[in-house]
Amino acid sequence: MGRRPGVEELCQIVGDLLNDWEPPFYDTEDEYTDDLFNYLDEELDPKFSAVKRTKTVRGIPDILINNQLVLELKVDPIKTERDRLIGQCCEYSRSFVAWAIVIDLDEDSVEKLLGLLEAKSLNYIEVIPYDCDEEDEEDDEDDEEDEED
């Protein structure tokens, strides 16, 4: 049996994969979670195990990788959902590295979330924002068409 990768190595590999993940527009958090899980399951080396919504002593994270790293997703979260996200990540971080994946959260709200984590000394919780807004994609396509003209 091969050696188990360290948390730092795992975080580097998953971080690189998250930088390359380009989810299409979906309507629900479950669809984004499924897409991210399938992407990671396909791209991660077989020495890593990724599971989706499995029960742990700290709750049921969206994605758990190698029993070391939790990814918790929220799509366009309102304030109460952002507060819940912080609570979930705090609980998960007692046993795992916890990362918050926020999709379609405006830049100002991302900054406020980061500021709150910093103020509460929770800046060890990584926040990874994605902009998957359907209108932005249409705008990008319009911009590309304009450049071609």
In the chain, alpha helices (H): 7-20, 29-43, 79-92, 107-119, 134-148
pLDDT attached to residue 136: 47
Q: What is the pLDDT of residues 99-129, one digit of tens each?
A: 999 999 999 999 999 999 999 999 999 999 9
DSSP labels, 7-36: HHHHHHHHHHHHHH------SSHHHHHHHH
Single-letter code of the amino acid located at 137: E
Between the alpha carbon of residue 98 and those of residues 19, 47, 137, the distances in Å are 17, 20, 29
The label of the residue with tokens 């979330």 reads 113
Q: What is the pLDDT of residues 11-45, one digit of tens each?
A: 999 999 999 999 999 999 999 999 999 999 999 99
Domains, the chain, in order of start with CATH, read 7-148 (3.40.1350)
Rounded to two decimals, what is the model's pTM?
0.85
The answer to whether 105 touches 81, Cβ cutoff 8 Å, is no
Q: Is the dihedral of CA 18, 23, 29, 33 positive or negative?
A: negative
